[in-house]
Amino acid sequence: MTSESRHISEWIDRHADEVYGYASDPANLPQWAPGLGSSVEEIDERWFVETSEGRVGFAFVQRNEYGVLDHYVTMPSGEIVYNPMRVIADGSSCEVVFTLRRRPGLSDEDFRADTDAVAADLTRLKRVLEDANRRAPIASRTREPKDAPVGAVRE
C-alpha cells in the first residue's frame, strides 16, 4: 500500500552529536516537542506522553552512531505509528529530518495540521539548542545514556 510522506527539516547550528544527545532523551520532549505531548513519564523503563488523544507510549530505536532517531508511538487505540527521524551532520551544524507519513483515513486538513505541528516542533528544537549554545554547553544539562557513543565527527 502506497502512502503519502512529507520530509520536514530544520538546520541547527550545533554539532550533530549534541543535537542527537538532547533530542534522543525522552525527558526533553516537553521542551521541544509539545506537538507530541505536554508531559512525559517513565514507568518501568517505558516512556509515556500525555497528548490531546490521551496517554501514548513512546520509544526511540536503540541509541546509535548514525543519528537515527526513529521512534514508535503507541496510540491509546493500540495502533503503533512509526516515525522516521534523522540528525544529519554537516560540519559544526546539522540538519534534523522528520518523515511524516500520512496514516490511512487522515483528511487533507489533518495531514496539513500534523505537518505544521512537526515543523513547529523542529523549529522549537532549533531555538532551544541554539539558545542553549549561547548560554552553556548542552551536555551539561542533559542525561547521556550509558551505552552511547554518538558517531558524529567534530571538525
Global pTM?
0.82
Residue 145 lies in a domain: no
Task: Find the domain containing 44 and state its range.
Answer: 5-140
Residue 136 lies in a domain: yes
**Tens digit of each residue's pLDDT, the chain (155 residues):** 558 999 999 999 999 999 999 999 999 999 999 878 788 999 998 999 988 888 999 999 999 999 999 999 999 999 999 999 999 999 999 999 999 999 888 999 999 999 999 999 999 999 999 997 676 555 433 444 433 333 333 33
Residue 146 lies in a domain: no
Q: Amino acid letter at 126?
A: K
Any idea what the CATH number is for the domain that residue 20 is in? 3.30.530.20
Residue 9 lies in a domain: yes
The angle that helices 108-135 and 16-23 make with each other, rounded to 10 degrees, is: 120
Residue 14 lies in a domain: yes
Number of domains in the chain: 1
